[in-house]
Structure 1
């Protein structure tokens, strides 16, 4: 089982206001985890409990994980005033779980309870996480309600997912999306910014492996963390993201399409046709420069290939001829719509800036990130990174990015991309 990541206050959640409206389905117990995780990320969470939700959970449960008072009645002493205040101050409103009844009443524009009144009063983005019996979800009236909520009111439906349902029901659609995914979807709703919305982004990530025989390969220690962090951050900002990834063991970032490949040629075949539509191309993969010219079909056995003229006691040798792999970044120069931006990486053991500038110009990058190889806490298989970013417009003034988590490192890179996107958008 993958360990849950440690949650600490971070963009785009930190300092934001989220209204979490909990309605009366059995899935409401998941909303406690959701409220806790959002709070750990630095969100101020205002929980609303419907009458049905109050039958499952008491306000004290949510107050304990958020540190904030819970509103559970429109008719309490402060309810009428407070529901308007939280609606106005919210950056995002999430209803989780959203029952079939709530969806029906919201589609009708009702305001006869706390949750529906807040939905009418807010101007923040509204997200609904449906949870119900499969037959209720597939009912034509629910289908019509869902269409009205999304197409007319502009709400976003998250799910439902397929899986085991309550009351002994067989598996099927109707299960509430898990809290981890909802946290990421809230992050995207909070982080969307105009230059990124709908931007098509292509990222390469991870290593490639070149077979030597049936069981061995040439590869490197790239974990793919940097590429996946960049992809996730692009998606949080509102982009449509595709990652072409070598063999990595990382969870797929929420909302990101991942194309799995093994070798450099497979990565090339996946990247080239997609580069033509990508408005931002990020080459973060550690692609093998060479591959065995003739990999063996079977497994080479120890001791095979001994030179009969070799001195006794000389270890057997295995000479492997290598040929160059295609240079994917070089091959995709000029691919993409007008105004396409390109980001590359240079990991070097010596003459870092010289090699980085050469790659910046030769491969038509707009920026290149120069990483020193072999430094503790940076580069391959580390959760942190450090380096310099070189801009094509000012290649002789590299800008340092100090040691930081790869998530923060990704934000630093993309902040510079966002400045360029914003400037070009303002000029158009």
Structure 2
């Protein structure tokens, strides 16, 4: 594991999101990291050093002028004796200090003195995050090489407030820390990848649509796994309820035709992984008003036409990527139908899986796939979707090399 044996200096500043830092400490230690906490005075208004120390199993540093901690220039030792500095939550005030080189307490002094990578997880009111001063400070910090994770959109602690400003969840921060410290080879560095994910919504009228049951979890995980191996990834996503991965460029679409246009606009590419559950049909006509329900003696009829076959178009395109991978969501004859799809669509690999109700794959966190190629079929065991994604990314790296 990337974090195993790593020493993390965690700076906790004063915001309501400080409570999440307690879980963050636990998550980092679960992965084998040593965590040394530094708390600002305002952080102690939200959580106690006792709780932080109990979870980190080490001394909590709070005071720049502590006689005991500073007898050997402790702030310099803290700044250098670590592999990564995480600031979570990072308030607008602390980010302003970082951007302008201010050092008037232990946290800001450590940040000015460190020569280690710094990962910031902002947390503040949406108006504060959108303020021109915060934008300037953020750009300055990014130009200085500071890494960011978040903020996320959602409800604020203040009643009636919502928007962009929530601190990322602990596991998202852990994943960001792993990316910063990951010194493994990047076999897909310089390669351009396109990944489609989620369902498409084909409108019947302004309130109804045709769609497939897809959460986007597998497609989003594959986009992240390719990015972790160095690829420059564009994720083209239908409507989903999960967050955009921070390490890839995400394009949001709704209809199959929009998804096709987005895919074609990003060719040529080296890799295409078509994971999206694209609706096979759309209505022949579009209406601007809600269709009213007919009487029981007059059943509703819809005229449908086929949607473009995105995988087939990409598989036979003049700018066809070097590797084209499609997904086959089947409920019976999994391998047979997957192999037929491989031939018809011009793909190099079909990832076939059982999406019957009993499998729990649609919307779930696990997947069991068959990797079908022209040389045979490889059956993978039941895996977490992130594990499926990492294994598939490794397979792509092996083939593209």
TM-score by length of 1: 0.69
110-119 or 39-48, larger mean C-alpha shift? 110-119
Q: Find the partner of 1:280 among 246, 271, 274.
A: 271
Q: Find the partner of 1:386 among 355, 368, 384.
A: 368
For 2:57, the equivalent position in structure 1 comes to 67
1:122 CA drift (Å): 3.9
Q: Secondary structure at the match of 2:342?
A: helix
Q: Find the partner of 1:189 among 166, 174, 180.
A: 180
Distance 2:155 2:360 in 1: 42
1:404 aligns with 2:383: yes
Specify whether residues 329 and 339 from structure 1 end up closer, same or farther in structure 2 by C-alpha distance, changes over 3 A only. closer
Q: Secondary structure at the match of 1:223?
A: coil
Q: Which residues of structure 1 form unaligned runs of 5+?
A: 1-10, 306-315
Distance 1:260 1:333 in 2: 22
Distance 2:162 2:242 in 1: 27
Distance 1:248 1:398 in 2: 31
Specify whether residues 336 and 51 from structure 1 end up closer, same or farther in structure 2 by C-alpha distance, changes over 3 A only. farther
Q: Find the partner of 1:229 among 221, 224, 241.
A: 221
For 1:3, the equivalent position in structure 2 comes to none
Q: Which residues of structure 2 form unaligned runs of 5+?
A: none
- Aligned partners of 1:184 and 1:254 also within 8 Å: no
Q: Secondary structure at the match of 1:19?
A: strand
- Aligned partners of 1:165 and 1:172 also within 8 Å: yes
1:18 aligns with 2:23: no
Q: Find the partner of 1:371 among 353, 371, 377.
A: 353
Q: Find the partner of 1:324 among 306, 314, 317.
A: 306
Distance 2:398 2:253 in 1: 32
Specify whether residues 399 and 354 from structure 1 end up closer, same or farther in structure 2 by C-alpha distance, changes over 3 A only. same
| Greater Cα radius of gyration, structure 1 or 2 | 1
Aligned length: 389
229-238 or 333-342, larger mean C-alpha shift? 333-342
- Aligned partners of 1:191 and 1:237 also within 8 Å: no
1:328 CA drift (Å): 0.5
Q: Secondary structure at the match of 1:402?
A: coil
CA RMSD in angstroms, aligned pairs only:
4.7
Distance 1:14 1:53 in 2: 27
For 1:302, the equivalent position in structure 2 comes to 295
- Aligned partners of 1:188 and 1:237 also within 8 Å: no
1:343 aligns with 2:325: yes
Specify whether residues 284 and 324 from structure 1 end up closer, same or farther in structure 2 by C-alpha distance, changes over 3 A only. same
Q: Find the partner of 2:315 among 333, 337, 340.
A: 333
CA offsets, 1:318-344, max 9 Å, x none? Answer: 665543321101112366979643321
1:240 CA drift (Å): 5.0
- Aligned partners of 1:210 and 1:288 also within 8 Å: yes
For 1:219, the equivalent position in structure 2 comes to 211
Distance 2:336 2:313 in 1: 22
1:283 CA drift (Å): 0.8
Distance 1:176 1:217 in 2: 32
Within 5 Å, which residues of 2 pair with 1:18-417?
18-23=8-13, 26-27=14-15, 29-40=16-27, 42-43=30-31, 44=33, 45-50=35-40, 53=43, 58-73=48-63, 77=68, 80=72, 90-96=82-88, 97=90, 100=93, 104=97, 108=101, 113=106, 116-117=109-110, 120-127=113-120, 129=122, 138=132, 143=136, 149-151=141-143, 153-156=144-147, 177-179=167-169, 182-183=173-174, 185-191=176-182, 194-195=186-187, 200-211=192-203, 217-235=209-227, 240-254=232-246, 256-274=248-266, 276=267, 278-293=269-284, 298-299=291-292, 301-303=294-296, 305=298, 322-333=304-315, 340-374=322-356, 376-391=358-373, 395-417=374-396
Specify whether residues 238 and 128 from structure 1 end up closer, same or farther in structure 2 by C-alpha distance, changes over 3 A only. farther
Q: Secondary structure at the match of 1:301?
A: coil
Specify whether residues 16 and 403 from structure 1 end up closer, same or farther in structure 2 by C-alpha distance, changes over 3 A only. farther
1:369 CA drift (Å): 1.0
